[in-house]
Structure 1
């Protein structure tokens, strides 16, 4: 659980509500269902229109990464790769076949299988680089829906404000209805700007960082198996992988 993300969201909401209260405003005045429907519904529709179904669904599923990021255990991965290297030096590449069944990650299993099959180092690198690039591109396209939402929601807030003002103009002869229209107008703007800058844009940035960490974990495996295929010393492999991990962490 990423506690800082939870604290950040709660802290942002608390700051806004506290500021409203200190100014003498009623907290209930910020709860406008009409404004919420216009901003959130309009933003969701715009994002769905620009995305493929797969991108949209994957982007929604990746929200949990913001609050519960997947563990990228670089040290553990490096130790495992060094173990592969030492095993191959003692018993040859075929000795690595015993590690295949223990690989839960499909990418790691594919990389190790290519190594066991005696693939050329350059061929292994080309195949794995293509896999990494393709996977990273798909993840980034999915995460981009939140960046797009951060761009659309302020505009939807303005749309809600205009609709609220139209309602006000239609009821100038009835003062009792003016307050509701004006409230929707201003609250819609607050919702649009607020969710964009407190949620959507920060979420998109964090997801991009986590995607980069995920790609680094795959790059460690790629560099490791290529080095093993080249017959490099386990100590040199470990040093190189630790340098790569420290640069991209």
Structure 2
């Protein structure tokens, strides 16, 4: 679990509501159903209009990575590659078939299976690089869904504020309601800006960071696997892959 993400959400929301209370406001002044419908509904609609169904689905699938990111331990990965190297030097590349059977990562399992089946070095590289790049682009497009909504949210908030002010202008005959009406109208702006800068854009950036880390991990493991195929010394492979730790 990424506790830093949870801490960021809590601090951000606490700062907004806490600052409002310090200025003498009340929590209920920030709660407005009409503004919520306009901002959240409008932002979601704009995001869906821009994004394909496949990318929306992928974005929702990887949303959990904000709190529960995939566990890509570079140190553990290097130890794993060194183990493959030692095993192949003792039992040959065909011996990696048993290693593939116990590998939980489908990307690595596919690579080990290709090597144990006798695929050429360049063929292994080409196949795994295509899969690695396609995965990266698919995940980045999923993260872009939240970035797109983050770009629209502030503008939708302004639209909500304008609609609220139009409603206020229709009730000018009752001056006692103008102050509360105007304050309520601007709640939509708070929703739009807050949704974008406290939730959607940080989520997008967080997911992009996770995706790029995954790509780097797979790239390291691919280089290690190819070094195993080339028959390099386990210690040389370790030294080579430790460059990814810097």
Q: In the aligned structure 2, how far is the partner of 1:61 from the partner of 1:123?
A: 31
Q: What are the residue-to-residue correspondences of 1:1-249 with 2, within 5 Å?
A: 1-175=1-175, 177-179=177-179, 181-244=181-244, 246-247=245-246
Of stretches 217-226 and 206-215 in structure 1, the one that deviates more from structure 2 is 217-226
Shift of 1:228: 1.2
State the secondary structure of the residue aligned to 1:104.
coil
Shift of 1:177: 4.9
Q: In the aligned structure 2, how far is the partner of 1:53 from the partner of 1:173?
A: 48
State the secondary structure of the residue aligned to 2:115.
helix
Shift of 1:31: 0.5
* Contact kept? 2:9, 2:198, Cα under 8 Å: yes
* Contact kept? 2:58, 2:138, Cα under 8 Å: no
Q: In the aligned structure 2, how far is the partner of 1:2 from the partner of 1:154?
A: 27
Shift of 1:176: 5.5
RMSD value, Cα: 1.4
* Contact kept? 1:160, 1:184, Cα under 8 Å: no
In the TM superposition, structure 1's runs of 4+ consecutive aligned residues that sit over 6 Å from their partners are none
Task: Report the TM-score when normalising by structure 1.
Answer: 0.94
- Structure 1's unaligned 5+ residue stretches are none
Shift of 1:164: 0.4
Shift of 1:221: 2.0
- Structure 2's unaligned 5+ residue stretches are none
Q: In the aligned structure 1, how far is the partner of 2:66 from the partner of 2:154?
A: 22
Q: In the aligned structure 1, how far is the partner of 2:60 from the partner of 2:98?
A: 38
Q: In the aligned structure 1, how far is the partner of 2:29 from the partner of 2:79?
A: 57
Q: Deviations over 1:176-219 (max 9, x none)?
A: 55355423321000110111111111111111010011112211
Q: Deviations over 1:28-71 (max 9, x none)?
A: 10011111111111000111111111211221232211112121
Say how many residue pairs are matched.
246
State the secondary structure of the residue aligned to 2:119.
coil
Shift of 1:25: 1.3
* Contact kept? 1:82, 1:237, Cα under 8 Å: yes
Q: In the aligned structure 2, how far is the partner of 1:82 from the partner of 1:138?
A: 30
